[in-house]
Amino acid sequence: MFGTIRNLLRPPPGMAFDFSQPAGEPALAPAGGVSWRVFANPVALFVGGVAAVLLELAEPSVRAGVWDHSGFRRDPALRLRRTGFAAMMTVYGPRSASEALIARVVRMHDRVQGNTPDGVAYRANDPRLLDWVQATATFGFSEAYHAYVRPLSAAERDAAFAEGQPAARLYGATGAPRSRAEWEALLAATAPGLEGSAILSDFMRIMAAAPILPRPLRWLQRLLVRAAVEIVPEPVRSLPQLRGRGLRPGEALLVRVLARVAGLLPLGDTPPAQAARRLRGTGPGRCNAAD
């Protein structure tokens, strides 16, 4: 089971990348920082990613862009793994490769534009929307770690937002929160426009049944989706599509046990271990249990 969960850390098919090269090149996020710890836990990665998407789908313009211009409905597992890989690259990848990947994403987003069902024009590279996407991602991953792996101090929760600033600026999210307080201010300012939708219901249905984990572990997949709903802040958690779909009594303890055990297992040859080798200046194949 834990080997399957750990595979969530690996790049998806067709996107293989050696995070151990070039030796010594730093990442956008500081080595050993809060982000490096958060993204090394596959349970926090899964739960945090789902929580971020729930927040994104509650914002009408972001929802339209995601749903109308991505392959999520056709292959949700691949779409989630590609998004997760982009996040892993900004945390662990060598700076040059991260900058190149972000530049490609920005160019693709230049073509993403349209109108919401209410007739509001949107474009993916609108800084307002980019700020929300960046903020919800940082909140989702760090909050999942805080809730289910290990509580983060106030300074560490601020650091999670600050460490994402180099990537945020490259994406064009120039107003992305730099601290927990700035996230809460953005959430409060955005809250009046957040809303439920049939798309949010579709997302929950897809996440319950999509072959992200093998069929025998589909119960675990549904549990982790409920764990994501549990940490989503108001007013989104009380939307009709999410109300009552958080964790059941006793399940929070089970998620914490799973997350903490997953964090104690050897990482294997995953991006966090490869990045640690890169910064030690060692070549491929020099990974051990301590990584």
Give the separation between CA 91 and CA 141, rounded to whole angstroms. Answer: 12
Answer yes or no: are the C-beta atoms of 141 and 39 closer than 8 Å.
yes
Average pLDDT over residues 34-48: 95
pLDDT at 285 over 70: no
Per-residue pLDDT band at 4 (split at 50, 70, 90): low
- The per-residue pLDDT for 74 is 77
Percent of the chain, pLDDT > 70?
94
Over residues 185-228, the pLDDT tens digits come to 999 999 999 999 999 999 999 999 988 888 999 999 999 999 99
Q: Is 33 exposed, middle or buried (0-12, 13-18, 19+ CB in 10 A)?
A: middle
Give the separation between CA 105 and CA 109, rounded to whole angstroms. Answer: 6
- The per-residue pLDDT for 286 is 38
Around 244, how many Cα atoms within 13 Å sit in the side-chain half-sphere? 2
For residue 27, the 8-state DSSP code is P
- The per-residue pLDDT for 15 is 82
Answer yes or no: are the C-beta atoms of 62 and 56 closer than 8 Å.
yes
- The per-residue pLDDT for 289 is 30
Q: Phi then psi for 116, rounded to 5 degrees?
A: -70, 165
Q: Phi then psi for 273, rounded to 5 degrees?
A: -70, -40
- The per-residue pLDDT for 287 is 37
Closest CA to 18 of 291, 285, 289, 201: 285
Does the reported pTM lie above 0.85?
Answer: yes
Q: CA 280 → CA 31, 95, 96, distances in Å?
A: 11, 16, 18
Around 101, how many Cα atoms within 13 Å sit in the side-chain half-sphere? 23
- The per-residue pLDDT for 6 is 66
- The per-residue pLDDT for 78 is 76
- The per-residue pLDDT for 223 is 97
Give the separation between CA 97 and CA 67, rounded to whole angstroms. Answer: 28
Average pLDDT over residues 257-284: 86
Per-residue pLDDT band at 284 (split at 50, 70, 90): very low
| Average pLDDT of the chain, as a whole number | 91
Average pLDDT over residues 125-135: 97
Q: Where are the alpha helices (DSSP H) in the chain?
A: 2-6, 34-39, 42-57, 60-69, 76-92, 95-109, 127-148, 154-163, 165-171, 180-190, 198-209, 218-231, 251-264, 271-280
pLDDT at 248 over 70: yes
Sequence-separated (6 or more) residues with CB below 8 Å from residue 11: 17, 81, 85, 88, 271
